[in-house]
């Protein structure tokens, strides 16, 4: 699988990276939907959350924990933030590589759309 996210992980495409470890990479979204809009992606190529298996449980937890840490680092921890994982075309998925959206920096509406 070769998605734009795979190319960002391989450093073939530039990104404004804010965090990286052995399991994931986080960077600013190029089309932000809030003042803070960071994508947290696993380095393991998984197309979407529905394609995860039991062996991915620790990785999924790591992505959420990383998002929480980034929210704190971005000053969103106390005011609030939203985590979004889109799955499939009807779920709003635009890149078939699992990713968590961290959104914040303004009051977010519900329902999202």
pLDDT confidence of residue 1: 62
Is 95 inside a domain boundary? yes
User: What is the number of structural domains in the chain?
Assistant: 1
pLDDT confidence of residue 106: 96
CA distance 14 to 16: 7
User: Quick one: tokens of 67?
Assistant: 């998002």
- For every one of its 113 residues, what pLDDT tens digit does the chain have, with 9 covering 90 and above? 689 999 999 999 999 999 999 999 999 999 999 999 999 999 999 999 999 999 999 999 999 999 999 999 999 999 999 999 999 999 999 999 999 999 999 999 988 76
Is 22 inside a domain boundary? yes
CA 37 to chain centre: 9
Is 113 inside a domain boundary? no
Active site residues: 99
- CATH code: domain of residue 32: 3.30.428.10
Is 17 inside a domain boundary? yes
Is 83 inside a domain boundary? yes
Is 51 inside a domain boundary? yes
Per the structure, the complete domain to which residue 92 belongs is given by 4-104
3-state helix, strand, coil in the chain (%, to 5): 30, 20, 50
């Amino acid at each position: 699988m070769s998605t734009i996210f795979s190319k960002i992980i391989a450093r073939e495409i530039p990104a404004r990276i804010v965090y990286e470890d052995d399991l994931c990479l986080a960077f600013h979204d190029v089309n932000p939907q809030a003042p803070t809009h960071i994508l947290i992606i696993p380095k393991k190529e998984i197309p979407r959350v529905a394609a995860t298996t039991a062996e991915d449980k620790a990785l999924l937890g790591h992505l959420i924990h990383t998002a929480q840490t980034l929210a704190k680092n971005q000053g969103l921890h106390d005011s609030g933030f939203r985590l979004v994982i889109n799955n499939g075309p009807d779920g709003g998925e635009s890149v078939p590589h699992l990713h968590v959206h961290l959104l914040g920096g303004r009051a977010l509406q519900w329902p999202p759309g």
